[in-house]
Amino acid sequence: METRKRSLAKALSWRIVATVITMAVAFALTREVEVAAAVAGLDTTIKFGAYFVHERLWLRIRFGRYQPTDYQI
């Protein structure tokens, strides 16, 4: 098990890496920093919201979960 702080740190660090990659690709295609930053910002915002919805939907799916026993030895 991981702590929530560790999971949050991993999610934030990955989001930073992904945003830099998106900005680099957008810059390579447009050669405009402002456009690349706008694309990266919009991409991050949309994907953040989409991931949140995705996670909440997965909470409703039982696949891969196990029911804990009433007792543990």
pLDDT tens profile 3-55: 888 988 998 899 999 999 999 999 999 999 999 999 999 999 999 899 989 98
CA nearest neighbour of 26 among 15, 12, 14, 40: 40
Measured distance CA(46)–CA(41) in Å, rounded: 9
Based on the number of CB atoms within 10 Å of its own CB, is 38 exposed (0-12), middle (13-18) or buried (19 or more)?
middle
Measured distance CA(73)–CA(2) in Å, rounded: 22
30: enclosing H helix or E strand: helix 4-30
Inform me whether the pLDDT recorded for 72 exceeds 90.
no
- pTM, 2 dp: 0.73
